[in-house]
Amino acid sequence: HYEVANLLFFQQLTANAEAAGELVKPPEPYVPKVKELKLSYTSSATRASGVSTASAYLLEGNYITPFGARPFSDTEANYLIPKYDLEGECYLGLSPVQPGQVLSLWFQMAEGSSTPDLSVPTVIWSYPGATGWTPFPARNLLRDTTQGLTRSGMVYLQLPKVLGTSPELPSDSYWLRLGVARDAAGLPLAISVCTNGVSAVLAPGPRA
């Protein structure tokens, strides 16, 4: 397809160069577009008797994610491509942190950059727990002046008593995940996130 298109293209260019009249633009080669793509696969494993559960199955697999590898789960359906339940995600890596520590995070948002036709989604704060990402209890979200990341402001958050890790993320930091299930463009873009934020109020007084 591409060899024929390139040949016709250069033939037309040559004809244009030799012609004394008006130049004719060569037609653009047709590029097919994929309307739908379906894949299917089958996997199986044979359990060996008399061995430990960890090595009982000979078939193992891992998902390659943007941050590392994650093994297939034995307790849920597995897919050929990793399945993500959230439309938009933001990961924050913190170091060092202590169990139960209160974080003060400043979010600088590009106010006005959201898509006005979309509804404002609810931001889900999660931490790495024993069974994966676990939403923070409401009591741990102490204060949010960003009104759900719709404007610049402070977020005060208390970490859990036990700090877990995620096999998909670098182990040199403690990670938090902010996610929305849908309409991620309904939130403005984030310019920066800073730790140890402090709120200050200008009090009127005598000039120096």
Same domain for 172 and 99, yes or no, is: yes
pLDDT tens track for 28-67: 666 778 888 887 777 666 666 666 555 555 567 788 877 7
Cα–Cα distance for residue pair 157/80, rounded to 1 Å: 36
Question: Is 60 exceeded by the pLDDT of residue 162?
Answer: yes
Of residues 18 and 185, more confidently modeled:
185
98, part of any domain: yes
Report the share of the chain in percent with pLDDT over 90: 44
Residue 65, strand partner residues = 68
Average pLDDT, the chain: 82
Cα–Cα distance for residue pair 47/207, rounded to 1 Å: 81
Same domain for 12 and 108, yes or no, is: no
**Whole domain around residue 183: which residue ranges?**
86-195
Question: Is 70 exceeded by the pLDDT of residue 25?
Answer: no
Read off the pLDDT of each residue in 154-158 and give the average, rounded to a whole number.
Answer: 96
Q: Give 11-19 contacts, CB < 8 A, sequence gap 24+.
A: none
Confidence of residue 3 (pLDDT cuts 50, 70, 90): low
202, part of any domain: no
> How many structural domains comprise the chain?
2
Same domain for 14 and 110, yes or no, is: no
